[in-house]
Amino acid sequence: MATVSQLNNFPCKTFLITSQPNNFTSKLSVLPPNCTKPTQNLIKKSQFLTQKSIQARPVFQVRASDANDEWGPDKEGPVVTESTGVAVAEEEKPAQVVEIQNLKKALVDSFYGTDRGLKASSETRAEIVELITQLEAKNPTPAPTEALPLLNGKWILAYTSFPGMFPLLSTGQFQLVKVEEISQTIDAESLTVQNSVQLSGPLASSSISTNAKFEVRSPKRVQIKFQEGIIGTPQLTDSIELPENVEFLGQKIDLTPLKGLLTSVQDTASSVAKTISSQPPLKIPLSNSNAESWILTTYLDEELRISRGDAGSVFVLVKEGSTLLNP
């Protein structure tokens, strides 16, 4: 597309009212010496026509294109006005929206290698606190408890500074039990919340969860009262994969002869798994005064939630399905 500076190079046809000096002079020479009135009339008429043509000049717009482009009645392009010479530009995204997106991505990236905050160094914690503070200052939802549709749904815990969570997260250090997921599911219609921890081991997987009701106490704060704890039914692995060999003290041990024995073990494990899986989960009522807590939501949008709890602890949760879960 040609630029505005190239408009001067475009060929134009200009219509001017010009006089014919040679013919006009020759006509004047034909008049008698004492005949000046016709000459004055001719001069005045020429000035009048020239001024009229200037005053009647229309306002026009110049449309620029490459040499190979052709402008037809059904083709449109950027219009450059004669007065400003500025093309119409597409409206850009608000700067604050872009800044918030960049802050959220930087925050999630800073969680890498921290195991939801358990392994975070002091420098990393300081960086995370700074990013959280910046996001809280740009909170697009000043009254989160009045925006229940945004709170509704399943939220995955990405980071926490709550010391009470660290013993649970530490179970993965023994490589016997692994914390697969920690989540919070909010039902805005029934005002209920469920906290859930998904665990997996070498032979089984299970879950631990709590059911609670919450009450709105302020535009940002909710009071949570836990009602019951639930220990999910273990789901045993009914298929055990045995390697062909293992290395022990520098020696490779062939496990092929054990595969025949493994077949009977798998059959037993499968029957046990079916028996246990048919049992209902274990529910434990929670009715003491310690089964209460509160949460202050300081940032909320469609995919990220930042909450603060007791003792200044912070929780960063990402909505299930968000691209922030796969940075």
Query: Which SS3 state, helix, strand or coil, does residue 182 take?
Result: strand
Q: Structurally, how many domains does the chain consist of?
A: 1
- Confidence band of 293 (pLDDT split at 50, 70, 90): confident
Closest CA to 316 of 164, 104, 137, 127: 104
Residue 315 has pLDDT above 90, yes or no: yes
Using alpha carbons only, give the angle 30, 31, 37 rounded to the nearest 5 degrees: 150
Residue 77 has pLDDT above 90, yes or no: no
Residue 110 has pLDDT above 50, yes or no: yes
The answer to the question of residue 314 being in a domain is yes
Q: What's the pTM?
A: 0.62
**199 φ, ψ to 5°?**
-115, 150
Q: Look up the CATH number of the domain holding residue 177.
A: 2.40.128.280
- Confidence band of 243 (pLDDT split at 50, 70, 90): low
Q: Residue 168 gets which letter from DSSP?
A: H
The answer to the question of residue 178 being in a domain is yes
The answer to the question of residue 142 being in a domain is yes
Residue 296 has pLDDT above 70, yes or no: yes
Q: Where are the beta strands (DSSP E) in the chain?
A: 62-63, 79-80, 153-160, 178-187, 192-200, 204-216, 221-231, 235-236, 245-248, 251-254, 282-285, 292-300, 304-308, 314-319
Identify the domain containing residue 300 by its residue range: 96-233+280-325
Which range of 135-139, 168-172, 243-247, 289-293 scores highest in mean pLDDT? It is: 135-139
Which range of 29-43, 68-82, 133-147 scores highest in mean pLDDT? It is: 133-147
Which of 82-86, 89-93, 162-166 shows the lowest per-residue confidence on average (mean pLDDT)? 82-86
The answer to the question of residue 128 being in a domain is yes
The answer to the question of residue 42 being in a domain is no
- Confidence band of 318 (pLDDT split at 50, 70, 90): very high
Q: What is the residue-wise DSSP string for 288-321?
A: STTSEEEEEEEEE-SSEEEEE-GGG-EEEEEETT
Which of 19-23, 229-233, 254-258 shows the lowest per-residue confidence on average (mean pLDDT)? 19-23
Residue 260 has pLDDT above 60, yes or no: yes
Residue 316 has pLDDT above 70, yes or no: yes
pLDDT in tens, 32-51: 444 444 445 544 544 544 45
Cβ-Cβ contacts under 8 Å for 233 (sequence gap 6 or more)? 206, 276, 277, 279, 280, 281
The answer to the question of residue 201 being in a domain is yes
Write down the pLDDT at residue 312: 81
Average pLDDT over every residue of 275-288? 79
The answer to the question of residue 81 being in a domain is no
Which range of 35-49, 105-119, 253-267 scores highest in mean pLDDT? It is: 105-119
- Confidence band of 105 (pLDDT split at 50, 70, 90): very high
User: What does the block give as tokens for 93?
Assistant: 């995204």
Cβ-Cβ contacts under 8 Å for 87 (sequence gap 6 or more)? 4, 78, 79, 80
| Average pLDDT over all residues of the chain | 74
The answer to the question of residue 271 being in a domain is no
Residue 91 has pLDDT above 70, yes or no: no
Average pLDDT over every residue of 277-305? 86
CB atoms closer than 10 angstroms to residue 109: 11
CA distances for 155 relative to 301, 304, 315, angstroms? 12, 9, 11
pLDDT in tens, 185-207: 999 999 999 999 999 876 778 89
pLDDT in tens, 159-189: 999 988 888 777 655 556 789 999 999 999 9
Closest CA to 240 of 223, 219, 259: 259
Q: What is the residue-wise DSSP string for 32-83?
A: -TT--HHHHHHHHHHHHHHHHHHHTPPP--EE---TT----TT----EE-TT
pLDDT in tens, 219-235: 999 999 999 999 988 87
